[in-house]
């Protein structure tokens, strides 16, 4: 399955159910009723989309600053060390996002732990092991509640 | 009979909530009765699982429940983290304005780290191309006007790790 093969049903599933997934005993049947198909079709399509990697999961998206402690960290890594430093950073269980970005400060990652002390400890540890300065950019205020994402198929 | 659904003023998660978080962060079961399956795994009543999830939605601990798209696989390959230097006294109002734009997926205030990092407002912008992202960033700049004391866009070139958030149950 790929996006080019998407019909109306696939698009509606993604457009209408990034939020407000029904909290009822048979949510997939409730979705099917809204889309005018049957429960098995909804389940089958969602399984296929997950298998094809087009959606990562069906489920809750948690607000990270409530479920434990977290921060966004950034490091300016010399180009020739980027691969090894990135691997070192990704090696921490507490790192759940790690992106390379085009900038002098080129490695960006999220550190997440049950308690703030452990987050600080991971940052210190990365700084000590790499000899590089780690910028700690914790969230101070969120201005947008992530309600999903308009995919604009056209 | 199930008890009425009530909002709680306390956003903190109790141990049972945390077990539900841990059991659902990789996704709900793709079976006809996913909350029943979850309840059985956790030794709870299905109604309790649903009620607690409703409450976590109401308190904001859960932002939303639904399909989590893989933007990259869906063709949204340009991911720009736009960062803005906004006067401190205006940053919260600026954040509300920028966060209200429908194409901004996340908008956060974060601390500056001078001299290396002068930016205090972050807005994530996605597109099918960098040109599309650049257009959207220009719209943010127009909204901010004089409050835009300098900005930059950091495109992601590689996703090195991306996993759901992990938390002990």
Task: Give the span between the Cα atoms of B168 and A112, in whole angstroms.
Answer: 11
Q: What's the whole-number mean pLDDT along residues A3-24?
A: 90
CATH code of B131's domain: 3.30.70.920
Name, in order, each residue with C-beta under 8 angstroms of A120's C-beta and a sequence gap of 6 or more.
A136
Task: Give the span between the Cα atoms of A99 and B157, in whole angstroms.
Answer: 8
**Total domain count, chain A:** 2
CATH code of A118's domain: 3.30.70.3460
Residues of B in contact with A145 (CB under 8 A): 60, 63
pLDDT in the model for residue A68: 75
Q: Is B54 found in the same domain as B19?
A: yes
Q: Which two tokens stand for residue A76?
A: 């300016």
Q: Which two tokens stand for residue B115?
A: 């001299």
At residue B47, the 3 state secondary structure works out as helix
Q: Is B89 found in the same domain as B51?
A: no
Q: pLDDT band at residue A145, thresholds of 50, 70 and 90?
A: low
- Per DSSP, helices labelled H in chain A are 8-16, 27-35, 39-51, 82-90, 116-130
Q: Is B142 found in the same domain as B96?
A: yes
Q: Is A77 found in the same domain as A45?
A: no
pLDDT in the model for residue A79: 95
Contact assignment for A19 to B66 by CB distance below 8 Å: yes
Measured between CB atoms, which of B61, B68, B106 is closest to A67?
B61
State chain A's mean pLDDT as an integer: 91
Exposure string over B120-154, b if 16+ CB within 10 A, otherwise e: bbbbbbbbeeeebbbebbeebeeebeebbeebebb
Bridge-based pairing state of the strands B151-162 and A95-101: antiparallel
Task: Give the span between the Cα atoms of A35 and A9, in whole angstroms.
Answer: 7
- Residue B73 belongs to some domain of the structure: no
Q: Is A132 found in the same domain as A73?
A: yes
Q: Is A131 found in the same domain as A75?
A: yes
Contact assignment for A149 to B163 by CB distance below 8 Å: no
Q: Which two tokens stand for residue A89?
A: 């950073």
> Does B6 have pLDDT greater than 60?
no
Bridge-based pairing state of the strands B78-84 and A69-75: unpaired
Other Cβ atoms within 10 Å of B116 Cβ, number: 12
> Does B166 have pLDDT greater than 70?
no
pLDDT in the model for residue A135: 98
- Number of separate helices (H) and strands (E) present in chain A: 5, 6
Considering just the CA atoms, what is the radius of gyration of chain A in Å? 20
Range of the domain at A123: 69-137
Strand (E) positions, chain B?
62-69, 78-84, 104-109, 121-127, 151-162
- Residue B99 belongs to some domain of the structure: yes
pLDDT in the model for residue A5: 83
* CB A144 within 8 Å of CB B64: no
Contact assignment for B67 to A58 by CB distance below 8 Å: yes
Q: Which residue of A has its CA nearest to B33?
A: A26
Q: Is A86 found in the same domain as A28?
A: no
Measured between CB atoms, which of A57, A103, A149 is closest to B27?
A57
**How does DSSP assign B124-140, residue by residue?**
EEEESSHHHHHHHHHHH
Task: Give the span between the Cα atoms of A88 and A85, in whole angstroms.
Answer: 5
Q: Is A83 found in the same domain as A32?
A: no
Residues of A in contact with B64 (CB under 8 A): 18-21, 60-61, 146-148
**Total domain count, chain B:** 2
pLDDT in the model for residue B117: 98
The predicted complex's ipTM stands at: 0.78
Name, in order, each residue with C-beta under 8 angstroms of B96's C-beta and a sequence gap of 6 or more.
A143
Q: How far is CA A57 from the centre of its chain?
A: 10
Q: Which two tokens stand for residue A46?
A: 């969602």
Tens-place pLDDT, residues B94-121: 999 999 998 998 999 999 999 999 999 9
- Residue A45 belongs to some domain of the structure: yes
Percent of chain A at pLDDT exceeding 90: 73
> Does B41 have pLDDT greater than 70?
yes
Range of the domain at B93: 78-155
State chain B's mean pLDDT as an integer: 88
**What phi, psi does A56 have (nearest 5°)?**
-85, -30
> Does A154 have pLDDT greater than 70?
no
Tens-place pLDDT, residues A79-94: 999 999 999 999 999 9
Residue B43, min C-alpha distance to chain A (Å): 17
Tens-place pLDDT, residues B22-33: 999 899 999 999
Q: Which two tokens stand for residue A131?
A: 């000899």
- Residue B167 belongs to some domain of the structure: no
**How does DSSP assign B54-84, residue by residue?**
HHHHHHTSEEEEEEEE-TTTTT--EEEEEEE
Q: Which residue of A has its CA nearest to B97?
A: A143
Residue with the two structure tokens 């900005």: B151
- Residue A23 belongs to some domain of the structure: yes
Q: Is A76 found in the same domain as A24?
A: no
Task: Give the span between the Cα atoms of B88 and B121, in whole angstroms.
Answer: 10
Query: Residue B18: which of A68, A69, A57 has the closest Cα?
Result: A68
């Amino acid at each position: 399955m790929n996006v080019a093969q998407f019909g109306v049903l696939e698009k509606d599933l993604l457009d209408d159910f990034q939020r407000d997934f029904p909290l009822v005993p048979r949510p997939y049947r409730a979705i099917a009723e809204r889309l005018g198909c049957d429960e098995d079709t909804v389940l089958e399509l969602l399984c296929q989309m997950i298998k094809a990697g087009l959606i990562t999961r069906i489920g809750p998206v948690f607000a990270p600053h409530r479920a434990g402690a977290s921060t966004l960290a950034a490091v300016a890594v010399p180009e020739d060390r980027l691969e090894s430093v990135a691997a070192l950073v990704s090696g921490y269980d507490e790192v759940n996002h790690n992106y390379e970005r085009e900038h002098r400060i080129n490695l960006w990652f999220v550190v997440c732990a049950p308690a703030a002390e452990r987050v600080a400890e991971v940052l210190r540890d990365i700084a000590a092991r790499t000899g590089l300065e780690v910028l700690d950019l914790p969230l101070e205020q969120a201005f947008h509640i992530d309600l999903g994402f308009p995919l604009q198929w056209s | 009979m199930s008890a009425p659904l009530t909002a709680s003023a306390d956003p903190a998660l109790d141990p049972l909530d945390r077990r539900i978080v841990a059991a659902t962060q990789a996704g709900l079961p793709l079976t006809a009765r996913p909350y029943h399956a979850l309840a059985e795994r956790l030794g709870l009543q299905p109604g309790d699982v649903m009620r607690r999830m409703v409450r976590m939605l109401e308190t904001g601990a859960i932002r939303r429940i639904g399909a989590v798209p893989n933007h990259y696989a869906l063709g949204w390959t340009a991911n720009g983290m736009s960062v803005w230097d906004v006067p401190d006294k205006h940053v919260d109002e600026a954040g509300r304005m920028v966060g209200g734009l429908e194409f901004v997926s996340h908008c956060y205030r974060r601390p500056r780290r001078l001299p290396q990092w002068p930016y205090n407002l972050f807005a994530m912008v996605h597109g099918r191309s960098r040109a599309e992202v650049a257009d959207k960033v220009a719209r943010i700049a127009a909204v901010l006007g004089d409050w835009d004391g300098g900005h930059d866009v950091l495109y992601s070139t590689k996703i090195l790790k991306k996993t759901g958030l992990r938390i002990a149950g």
